[in-house]
Amino acid sequence: MNYFEELINKAKEIENPLKQVLAVSGSPRKGGNSDIIIKQIILGLNTENIATESTNLKSIDFSGCIGCEKCRKDKICTMLLDGMSVLYPSIIDSKGLILVSPVHNYNITSWMKAFIDRLYCFYEFDNNTRPRKWSSRLANQNRKVVISAVCEQENIENLGFAIDAMKRPMEALGFDIIGTLPVFNSFEKGAVKKQKEIMDKAFELGIKMGRQLK
């Protein structure tokens, strides 16, 4: 059995995700403010003894969805063999997700957008209706997500669509939103460490997620 065959079999019967969390950074800058926020949330999760895994999307080689619809048959993306192919098992198995992105041009980064678009394969569509009715194979499994967007500027208007660009797709996929964390005044690498309130909130979100995953 090749890797795609194993992945297809795994994707066809999605149930009982594990009490673990996958953290995803959409920042092109490793070790920057987005990664610091992720580490702080994970510290909160650690107090609840939740296993975690982290990935920075800039470090994996993957493409955005090309709209081929092959996943309608295979239940997972099999048109593209790339970094997302390797990441899919962790997405399926993890009951919790952390999504953190810097704000680029009033929105999430291109890496985070491509990641979210590649989750399209988890939708089921009724081809007998127009527009098609849909559901998610990740729904009704007590899946949780924490979302954060990191902005250089100082007000909500400059955050743009970043929070909603992550929140709405995750809600549609069946995730409960544990909390959202908008971060302002953070451009220089490590600047967020000086914001005690933000660091405390990130830690508390980790604790809250950990308790709700039990």
Q: What is the CATH number of the domain that holds 45?
A: 3.40.50.360
Average pLDDT value for residue range 10-18 = 87
Calpha distance 118→79 (Å, rounded): 11
Q: In this model, does residue 117 exceed pLDDT 90?
A: yes
Domain count along the chain: 1
Average pLDDT value for residue range 113-121 = 98
Average of per-residue pLDDT values in the chain: 94
Q: Residue 164 is which amino acid?
A: D
| Residue 11 placed within a domain | no
Q: In this model, does residue 109 exceed pLDDT 90?
A: yes
| Residue 16 placed within a domain | no
Q: In this model, does residue 1 exceed pLDDT 80?
A: no
Q: In this model, does residue 5 exceed pLDDT 90?
A: no
pLDDT of residue 62: 97
CA angle 183, 93, 167 (to 5 degrees): 30
Can you tell me which residue has the tokens 């970094």? 83
| Residue 121 placed within a domain | yes
**Which structural domain range is residue 126 located in?**
24-212
